Structure 1
Amino acid sequence: MSSAGSNYTGKSFIYNGTLEVASLANLSANSSLGAPTTVANGTIDLGSATLRYIGSGASTTNRVVNLLASGNLDASGSGSVTFTSAVTGTGQNLALLGSGAGELSAGVGTGSGGTLVKSGSGTWTVGGTSTYTGETHVLQGTLVVDGSIATSSRVTVTAGATLAGSGTVPLIANAGLVSPGDSPGILTTTQADPTLGTDYAFELTATGSPTYGNPTASVNDVLRMTDAGTPFVVALDADNAVGVYLGVATLTTGDLFRGGWYTDRGSDFIADISGAAFDYFVLGDGNGTHGFNGTDYYTLAELYGAGASVAVSTVAEVADFGGGDVNGYVTLFNVSVGVIPEPATLGVLLLGAAGVALRRRRGVAGA
């Protein structure tokens, strides 16, 4: 239904197949699915079918999507689509598809037994407080959790896919990329199970500690792990790539960045992370060739030579995430660099770096 100006006021049912729409709007406003004036008539009943948004402009709707069976929402337009009412349908499964950008700002309210699957190359954002209790699977693209999916039993991230956001999630497992925050931010989980090769990416934009009380603008990325007993199911090893992106113009020996992992357990967790494969990137003048989250970085060696290094440790840190002080531990990155190269020397370093093999597994170095 490509028309953006339909004005029928009756209910919309999508039982099978795929229905493409060019616009969605709030109750009473014309859209590809009419202009119903009541919540009941405005509810979109979705069976074993797909509602696909193909609009060229951004659309926002407060109409409820009610699942009659396992259904799909597909964001494949060049414009984004946002649903501001929670998806309903007790126990039903929802798949988020498409190559574009979509958002469920009030979450997934399907309750006991429901699952959530993210597929397709696009990005879907889930806000609000979801109530489904089944698993969450990030198979492709990016799932940004800015609300809570804490009732989900676990979240698995497949290799090549990304979990991001500043919300709350259950245990994280599998081989994909975990990239906390919204450049930057704090993602909260119970535990991490890196057994299958989970990768991590952290943006640290200033020395010192993160702003723990502001999860959407924390200065430095944090993956907070609230299980005080076993935050890491197993220790990280060389199959776990960790990209650390230092968003500063210059570095000085002795610069200390705090962020990365934070555990509510009041003891050192360096043994859990020291075996990982760390790679470091620096913003510099912003003209590097290693892209991440829309920003171009240099490798640490490209700017400061092969002798530059970062020592990783964990230190005690009292943090208030909004609910009172937590006596936990946080990762500390201690920088050691030489003299900043002159422009001519930098050019030589950049040429030399072209022949150096760099660990860039599963998109940790960005796209």
Structure 2
Amino acid sequence: MDWILDDIRRRGIETEDLQANLLDHICCIIESELEENGDFGQFYSSVITRFYKHELIEVEEETQSLLLFKNYYTMKKIMMTSGTISAAFTALGILLKFIHLPGASIFILLGIVSFSLVFLPLLLTLRIRERKEIKEQIIVVTGVISGMLLSMAVLFKIQHWPFANIMGFTSVLMFALLFLPIYFFIGIRNPINKENVIVNSLIIIMGCGLFLTLIRTNQNQQRIQADRTRDYIQQEQLLAHERALTKIDSAKILVQEAQSINQLCEDLKRKLIKFDTGLEIIPTSADEGKILLSESLASDFIGHGTEMGTEVEKLRASLSEYNQKLSPGMSPLQDNLDSKELRTVTALEGLVRIQLSLLQNSRVGN
């Protein structure tokens, strides 16, 4: 027994309780399995290897880790559970989104948040404890933090919240400039993992590249905004031209209703433009790129319960009343302000179309 105990100590086991436990286990195995005339040394060598993968000191390290990190297994279970729930919620949310059923946004939101703020932080905590070298810990930290930023960037993007692009760029830069070089140059030195490291590095590079192709540059964004603004100005000019050509007899049917709807549209357009640009009207110089309509989300601004939302409901009620009184040949009016992802410029274009339809119907009435 003393020889076995000395060997256990030589192999790096310093904790006395662990030494005693290992000695007890080894002696029990030898007593029950060693044949009467068997070779003790050879049998002992085969028994001791059952307790580790590479070296016996692994048992000491794991014991110390467990003593310092008593909640290891609880956190590991929480990590696995949160990861499973995150994947299930995200998959369910995407499925609901494709089949146009309610609840898609909330499931996607819960899935990404639980993945980013529960699963990945727990993964980081557990993996840091398992890695002893500083380089390996840096790989874990940069990889997990980059993953958190990337997943949150996707969430912010689909929810149309600010800072989505900043988080996305930051995560890609961390992957490309920190995680990838350290991972590649450390892993490439190991002949066993060399091929896997190269393949994984190529996948990371392609993933970052594909992500960047989905992001608009500032130049492209400004060009798109300039085109949309120019189109809106042309629609306003067309509306003014149609008004000049159309003579409306105040005694004709639906004139008062049309004037009320037209005024509501003008008020909504003015407030939407102010919400988007800070101005109440778009000057003609906007087509030169001085004032641009952005693709800001207007649905929250005109949502239910807001001041603009009340005006939108009033407009819809007026449109419904107007449509009920239409004469043959007149076109019914309909707004486009109920979309959850309504952009400001799209809302403005929809209001101009209502005003143009009013003028067309007035010609039919005349």
Q: Which TM-score tier does this pair reach, normalised by the shorter chain? A: under 0.3
When Rg is computed on C-alpha atoms for both structures, the one with the higher figure is: 2
Higher percent of residues as helix: 2
TM-score scaled by length of structure 1: 0.25
TM-score scaled by length of structure 2: 0.25
Larger relative CO (CA 8 A, sep 6+): 1 or 2?
2
Higher percent of residues as strand: 1
